[in-house]
Amino acid sequence: MEHYFSLDEDLQEIRMSLNKDPHIGKAIKQFWGLRLIRQDPWECLISYICATYKSIAAIKHMLNNMAEKFGEKTALDGFEFYTFPSCQTLAAASEAALASCGLGYRAKYVLETSKRICNEDYDLESLRKLPYADAKKVLMSFSGVGAKVADCVLLFSLGKTEAFPVDIWVKRVLLNHYADKLPKETVQRLSSSDSLSSGDYKRLNEFGVEYFGEYAGWAQEYLYHLERMTV
């Protein structure tokens, strides 16, 4: 349990190294109790593949559906729940059955990635040993996994604290509070467009990693939560 909530990390050092400006200072102060979870990489990978271009409420619904349909029913302290389905189970599922959980076009990605991990008996934990950039390339070779999903898995499951996932909320943070530190033409393009090209993702991601350093992922979480509370 301590491991799951990252309670062994040196929070003092992390907070100090991240406190580079008043805005993140405010976020750190407001979310003093924030922890990074360490999720199982398989569950994390599939969850974030499903999460692409979906609202958080809809994501919860999808994952519940998948667990009820493909997971195992277990009980703990009299509380019943369903485990997250194994890659063998999902690899054997039909695309239609996955789609009916609310996955839509993501069903194909989940199926392809499940089959590959199952067939190759791929151990996602082995990515821990690779440097951030190398592990990211491997993850992005799976179906349905782009830079954002890869960064989430690296941060939440594989201990890469320098990973800096850029979703629409982090994009808003950077535009609203860090525009003066970004290239002018990038800021202009981002504020006039709703989507994020792969090139601009890379620019924002690299800004985060360079500006906040080896704990950029923690910075992302502080900023993300502040932005969501502020709206």
Partner DNA sequence: ACCCAGGAATTGT
Partner DNA sequence: ACAATTCATGGG
Measured distance CA(160)–CA(88) in Å, rounded:
27
Q: Which two tokens stand for residue 137?
A: 């390339």
**Number of neighbouring beta carbons within 10 Å of residue 161:** 21
**Number of neighbouring beta carbons within 10 Å of residue 127:** 22
**Number of neighbouring beta carbons within 10 Å of residue 62:** 20
- Judged by CB, which is closer to DNA: 74, or 176? 176
Q: Taking Cα atoms as reference points, which of 123, 127, 145 lies closest to residue 135?
A: 127
Residues 79, 60 contacting (CB under 8 angstroms):
no
By CB under 7 A, which span of 17-25, 53-61, 75-83, 125-133 interacts with DNA?
A: 53-61
Q: How many residues does the chain have?
A: 231
Contact pattern for DNA over residues 2 through 41, marking x by CB under 7 A? ----------------------------------------
Q: Which two tokens stand for residue 215?
A: 């704990």
- 136: contact with DNA by CB under 7 A: no
- 220: contact with DNA by CB under 7 A: yes
Of the candidates 145, 174, 190, 209, which one interacts with DNA according to CB under 7 A?
145
Of the candidates 17, 30, 52, 86, which one interacts with DNA according to CB under 7 A?
52
By CB under 7 A, which span of 7-15, 71-79, 128-136, 198-206 interacts with DNA?
A: 198-206
> Catalytic positions, please?
148
Residues of the shown chain interacting with DNA in the complex, contacts defined by CB under 7 A: 51-59, 61, 99, 102-105, 109, 140, 142-150, 165, 167-170, 189, 193-197, 199-201, 220, 224
